[in-house]
Structure 1
Amino acid sequence: MLDRSAIEHCPNCNSTHIDNYCLKCGQKIYQKRFTTKGFFEVIGNALNIERGFLYTVVWLFRNPGKVVGDYLKGKTKIYINPLNYILIIAGAYAFLVLSLNILDSSLATTNSILQNDDAQPSAEVMEMQLRWIEFVKKYMNFIPILMIPFASLISKWYYNKRKLFYGEHLIINTFIFAQSILISVLFSPVLMIFPVILKIYPIINFSFTIIYFTFAFFLTYQKSVITSFFGALIIYVGGMIFFFLFMMAILIVVVFVLKVLGVNLLNISQ
């Protein structure tokens, strides 16, 4: 039987300078055996859920300005790291979108709005659309993260009087993007109960996103509600547009290179 009642040395580096953590290597010192409760404590430590995650979730709803203000001032211990935060939430969102078939439903709704009854996309357009969908499904949890650098460039321009560094805008927008995605995740039970809402989900999701962005910018930058609202529109929509333009530019370059090499893009998956 393993007895941990009197640990005197770090199990990792054998240092005697230990408390709750080893002062030499940072190893957490577990004085008790791993019961079921202890197992969930380990999971909580890994995800920083015991304190940082839940605390961050609550305060990003209550007052996002306080969260980003504290974090930019160096008060980071009580909050989860913004990158870890958005990775956890984006992963949950990706699972939600794929399991409820939200992406395909949203695309069908968008096509029905944009296309005339007599207009049918060409085979090439349909092929590229399918390839784009597969790409989005594969990297769903990373797309919101990839949008943030572009949105942060716009927020740095829009709120230039605050004299914040670009890196500080990255932190602010990471928290705000993550929380807006969390709202979509929390809305998922409604979609399960009323699947007919899937047809207008893009509109609902966009509305919730802009509302939260407006709320977050209002408390973060201390500007008027009107200024915050237009900031939300410009930063979110602009970040999305620049991201997709960037992806299209990469796609064009890839297609050009493949053509130069004599590779037919439509035959790659065959």
Structure 2
Amino acid sequence: MNCTNCKTEVDLNYCPKCGQPTKLKRIDGHYILHEIEHVLHFERGILYTIKELIVNPGQNVKSYLVENRSRLVKPVIFIIITSLIYAIAYKIFHFEDAYINFNGTEDVSKMPVSIAVFKWLQSNYGYTNMLVGVFMVFWLKLFFRKANYNFFEILILLCFVLGIGMLIYAFFGIAEGLIGIKTMKVGGIVGLIYSTWAIGDFFGGKKIMKYLKAFASYVLGMLTFIFIVMLATVIIDTVILK
């Protein structure tokens, strides 16, 4: 028979060219449970990735880039899953998490574009965090220009680091929702400390200057993002008002 995927002649259970099974298993409850177990499996799964990124982030991300890309969850999938976890926690426990607090009318159609955009950013912190990461890359490239990493490799680093950051914020947000004490500010500090340490560790942080550069890149990336969003929305508001 021929492979249903690449049409290569197959006489075994799997295609020797693309690895496609000759007979796909029927999708049932057992199949769904197996897929969930595969994602959450402690070895080479989401839990394993979280543990490795907490214990030794720099070395694990370097290993992912240059040695072995099967040990950790794919970076884009990782930040999507962690952002989803954060979003679910936020919807359930309703903790305060925004860069900018918004109070006012809920009718988006009556808002200036700038206010509407920041309201969306406030309500979608997971996506906001990913967008901020793009701006952080530019500052990291500037501060660590001697390091031999390109834009996309640094972006991979930030997917892992910001993903752990989302879990930290989710943890403190859940704690705030359960015990009724404002803990998100503590979570923000812990997240900033972790991000600074993880980024500095990735770039060979044996000197304090590495961590200072990592901290500066994180903060400047966030400020640059906010400034550009404000500038763009103010320009749009001005054009609309005219």
TM-score (norm 1): 0.72
Give the Cα separation in 2 of the matches to 1:24 and 1:98. Answer: 45
Residue 73 of structure 1 aligns with an amino acid whose one-letter code is V
1:160 paired residue number? 145
1:92 paired residue number? 85
1:38-117 mapped onto 2 (5 Å cutoff): 38-44=31-37, 48-50=39-41, 51-103=44-96
What SS does the corresponding residue of 2:158 show, helix, strand or coil? Answer: helix
- The percent identity for this pair of structures is 24
- Structure 1 pair 230/206, CA: closer, same or farther in 2 (3 Å)? farther
Gapped runs of 5+ residues in structure 2? 104-109
1:140, CA displacement in angstroms? 3.3
1:226-265 mapped onto 2 (5 Å cutoff): 226-260=208-242
Give the Cα separation in 2 of the matches to 1:207 and 1:59. Answer: 21
- Which digits, 9 at most, give the CA deviation of each residue in 1:7-38, with x for residues without a partner? x7656567553767544555456665555333
Aligned pairs, how many? 233
Residue 134 of structure 1 aligns with an amino acid whose one-letter code is K
- Structure 1 pair 97/229, CA: closer, same or farther in 2 (3 Å)? farther
- Which digits, 9 at most, give the CA deviation of each residue in 1:205-253, with x for residues without a partner? 2211122123313431222363244233212111111111121122123
Give the Cα separation in 2 of the matches to 1:167 and 1:82. Answer: 11
Gapped runs of 5+ residues in structure 1? 1-7, 112-125, 261-270
- Which digits, 9 at most, give the CA deviation of each residue in 1:72-106, with x for residues without a partner? 20421222211111111112212323432223788
Residue 142 of structure 2 aligns with an amino acid whose one-letter code is W
Does the 8 Å contact 1:210/1:232 carry over to 2? no
What SS does the corresponding residue of 2:125 show, helix, strand or coil? Answer: coil
Look at both structures and tell me which one has the larger radius of gyration over its CA atoms: 1
1:213 paired residue number? 195
- Structure 1 pair 89/230, CA: closer, same or farther in 2 (3 Å)? same
Does the 8 Å contact 1:148/1:173 carry over to 2? yes
Give the Cα separation in 2 of the matches to 1:27 and 1:36. Answer: 22
Give the Cα separation in 1 of the matches to 2:50 and 2:13. Answer: 26
1:43, CA displacement in angstroms? 3.8
Give the Cα separation in 2 of the matches to 1:19 and 1:137. Answer: 54
- Which digits, 9 at most, give the CA deviation of each residue in 1:38-78, with x for residues without a partner? 32113455xx4443323221110111112211122042122
Give the Cα separation in 2 of the matches to 1:49 and 1:19. Answer: 30
- Structure 1 pair 185/139, CA: closer, same or farther in 2 (3 Å)? closer
- Structure 1 pair 65/10, CA: closer, same or farther in 2 (3 Å)? same
Superposition RMSD in Å: 3.2
Q: Which runs of 4+ in 1 moved over 6 A?
A: none
